[in-house]
Amino acid sequence: MRYKVLPSIGCCLIFFLVTLNCAISQNFPNRVTAPLSGNGAAEEDDDLQAKFIRQEWSPGIVQFKSTRPVMQVPVIFDAENNMLYYLENNTIMEFVDSISAFMMKVVKNNDSTFITFRNSYPSVQSNTAQTFYEVLVDGNIQLLKCRAKSIYMFKEPDILDKKKPAHKELLFAYMPGGKMTTVKKDIDVLVEKMPEYAQLIKEIEKKHNLKLKNEKKLCELFAYLNKPE
């Protein structure tokens, strides 16, 4: 098994305190949304990056691009730097084998669910095929979220949330044919960014009276897109 051993827990505490100071100085707070299984809607959970800084380990399932067996280990995810770590014998380990997807168990309101992350999506501006995205809605038409620092280099002012410049995260739609585009919680933007589905989006909005005031409603719309009536 190929792996890289990171410093001991004591040394790593210093590492994480430094990471915390960097995170504060760069003003990069993030939010995480924990999806239901399948094409369900999402509900908000605690700050994912804060969990990393506090070393709050979560049960994880890690899948590799090679034939290496799936691993079930405690994990923490540094969303800003796009790095996943696992714990083995009280030692923080860095994966060397390429990861294709992983799941993290999170708890919200005394209930637990798994958040799914994947990479190998098409490159979009500064995001590459190695960038991990949280899968909010799965299916032929996927709704994804990215919090990696690479999104700060994106040049799409109409997509970035101007009201919350410090809470930068981007939403993406991944469609058949390998098409990838940024989206936001706005019907007009969705119609512009997803012209192949423009009519269907309008029909779903009207039929179900969907007001895209939050991420949960956007997830509902994408769920309907994957199950057209």
Reported as a pLDDT band with limits 50, 70 and 90, residue 162 is: low
Give tens-digit pLDDT for 36-85. Answer: 333 333 334 456 777 777 778 999 999 999 999 999 999 999 999 999 99
Q: What pTM was computed for the model?
A: 0.74
Q: State how far the Cα of 162 lies from the Cα of 47, in Å rounded to an integer.
A: 20
Q: Residue with structure tokens 């997830």?
A: 219
Look up residue 69 and give its two tokens. Answer: 């067996």
* Bridge partners of residue 35, in order along the sequence: 42
pLDDT at 211 over 70: yes
Whether 113 and 37 have beta carbons less than 8 Å apart is answered as: yes
pLDDT at 166 over 80: no
Whether 135 and 219 have beta carbons less than 8 Å apart is answered as: no
- Give the residue, 136 or 32, on which the prediction is more confident: 136
Span 166-192, mean pLDDT?
A: 90
- What angle separates helix 198-208 from helix 215-226, to the nearest 10 degrees? 120
- Give the residue, 150 or 167, on which the prediction is more confident: 150
